[in-house]
Chains A and B, each alone.
Chain A
């Protein structure tokens, strides 16, 4: 299934723990629209290898590939777990009161 879909690499940044995405310049961004997209498995493998090197170098934790759809400005994960991970809790953060 995964191989038929475009893919991006997601991870947590080591120092602050927040969700980050592998970018085209081999960096990491907290914005999913900056994610570099692999369109086939071979490309995806290259991205994952580079991400794992970043984990070895203690920049990020636990990088892995997720399937996305390309619609609108930013890649959208196809699985709801990853959707929530990318876009944050589906419920409002308590505030005000």
Chain B
């Protein structure tokens, strides 16, 4: 993991102290709410439906067990004993008291964490592949580049007042698990014809009320030019992005309005000035950051597949968990373990302090003290010896963390919705929980196979409903909650925006609608075809027929 240097530590500590003084001035009445609001937002502090909400950055989803224990401590000491992991690999606390925030931030700084730039019109937390550094299919570790971007973008003076927020995602694997095509900038590592690794640069993707799949403006970028090229893009956006209407201020609107070709030309012109500036990354700097992500010293282990097969044969539940929650590790004898935060017991992504401590302890016991947060609101233990999987699974189960549903129907992504969020028009969590309750039979869940359901409680699409295989959008219709459906969305390499099925359904009928969509899929699928592939093959019509009757 990246360890803070003196500069990072000072910055974070001083920022926490600065905010302490600002809070003091607010509480004394020296600052009005209008004056204070931008300051608190710069530190991740929102005012939500019930209370202040603090969003803490988890840089590209990486957590040490020490940090996780601190997050648990904060949940207990400053909140109501739980936290919510978000679709941007961060954590949010829902019941934070303003007067306690300075102490909270000081505690976070002790473990190299903060909430700077987790809100506001600036470059937000860089997100990445939750399997970074351990995935069998990986070309290069994307965290090196995430960290380089993090350092460049933190308090970047030129980009502190962008037209709107700005999100960058990086994947180092051809199987995109970081949703790079639906970010303001998506970076995808791949090899050029000479076999050299570089970045495809994708710009102008995003969700919200005007969803777009990003456009590739450069097929291959030499890594040493990463920062100068990003700077050129941000400069063009900062200069030309709309500021007259917040709903039209994201870079996707600019790219869409002027066209990707014109946008590319503007960037290339800007880049010509910047490429050989001090932003050109010296190899020594790339090496310095790479060293922080050097693989741990893996004790040699034999492949344990035969052992796992025999263990699984005796325990169908364990077999199901292995099937859905384990991903292939690059080192023989090891496995990547996904911890589902989608049990029936809590809203999607929510975790109690007790569970956080348990996960941290398991990360130490069955790995190298590391955890990851993914953008589907689950956690990952990256380095588990295969022969210890059964033991780990049993322990996870005692903490309610062993749900075998990753990538399946009950692994639902949901924003906090109207239960917590002041922007929401409808609730998300109860719909997620009802769907989850309806699909509790593991055999059925696994028979349905790979399927993503994403729920947002408003047009802002924090639940990423546009890219869910089944997307659900909550709307307010004359004072009642209604749910509109989209089908066929995907955030992977085959990224696509879902298409609307038609009129929405009242809350009481929403789960039946999901059942009906899934029954249609099961009826039409060819052998082991995934939901999204069946949808792409047969189109919308049979699903509409099931939902609304024959036209």
Binding site for B on A (CB under 8 A): 12, 14-19, 55, 57-58, 61-62, 79-81, 84-85, 88-97
Contact B418 A81 (CB under 8 A): yes
* Interface membership of chain B positions 343-381, coded 1 if the CB is closer than 8 angstroms to chain A and 0 otherwise: 001110011101100000000000000000000000000
Please judge, given known A-B contacts A19-B51, A80-B479, whether A94 and B427 are in contact too, CB under 8 Å.
no
- Complex alpha-carbon distance, A18 and B51, angstroms: 5
- Complex alpha-carbon distance, A57 and B49, angstroms: 22
Contact B51 A84 (CB under 8 A): no
Q: Which of B12-20, B95-103, B177-185, B261-269 contacts A (4 or more CB under 8 A)?
A: B95-103
Shortest CB–CB separation between residue A28 and chain B, in angstroms?
15
Contact A97 B430 (CB under 8 A): no
A-B contact pairs, 8 of them (CB 8 A): A16-B51, A55-B33, A58-B29, A92-B346, A93-B81, A94-B81, A94-B82, A94-B350
**Interface residues on chain B, number (Cβ under 8 Å):** 39
Binding site for A on B (CB under 8 A): 26-29, 32-33, 47, 49-52, 80-82, 95-99, 345-347, 350-352, 354-355, 399-400, 418-420, 427, 429-430, 433, 479-481
Shortest CB–CB separation between residue B170 and chain A, in angstroms?
31
Closest to B80 in A: A93
Shortest CB–CB separation between residue B286 and chain A, in angstroms?
42
A-side contacts of B82, CB under 8 Å: 93-95
Contact B29 A84 (CB under 8 A): no
Shortest CB–CB separation between residue B101 and chain A, in angstroms?
10
- Mostly helix, strand, loop or mixed at chain A's interface? loop
Contact B347 A91 (CB under 8 A): yes
Q: A12-B51, A84-B418, A91-B429 are in contact. List 9 more A-B contacts (CB 8 A).
A: A14-B33, A14-B98, A16-B99, A18-B50, A18-B95, A90-B429, A94-B346, A97-B354, A97-B399
- Complex alpha-carbon distance, A82 and B161, angstroms: 33
Please judge, given known A-B contacts A14-B98, A18-B50, whether A95 and B352 are in contact too, CB under 8 Å.
yes
Shortest CB–CB separation between residue B414 and chain A, in angstroms?
10
- Complex alpha-carbon distance, A17 and B48, angstroms: 9
- Complex alpha-carbon distance, A12 and B52, angstroms: 9
Q: Which of B52, B351, B355, B420 contacts A89 (CB 8 A)?
A: B420
Q: Which of B27, B33, B345 contacts A15 (CB 8 A)?
A: B27
Please judge, given known A-B contacts A79-B479, A89-B419, whether A94 and B351 are in contact too, CB under 8 Å.
yes
Shortest CB–CB separation between residue B425 and chain A, in angstroms?
8
A-side contacts of B50, CB under 8 Å: 18-19, 85, 88-89
Q: Which of B81, B96, B345, B480 contacts A17 (CB 8 A)?
A: B96
- Complex alpha-carbon distance, A95 and B345, angstroms: 9
B-side contacts of A79, CB under 8 Å: 479
- Complex alpha-carbon distance, A96 and B33, angstroms: 37
B-side contacts of A92, CB under 8 Å: 346
Closest to A79 in B: B479
B-side contacts of A15, CB under 8 Å: 27, 97-99
Q: Considering residues A18, A58, A79, A85, which has the most beta carbons from chain B within 10 angstroms of its beta carbon?
A: A58
A-side contacts of B355, CB under 8 Å: 97
- Complex alpha-carbon distance, A61 and B50, angstroms: 12
B-side contacts of A55, CB under 8 Å: 33
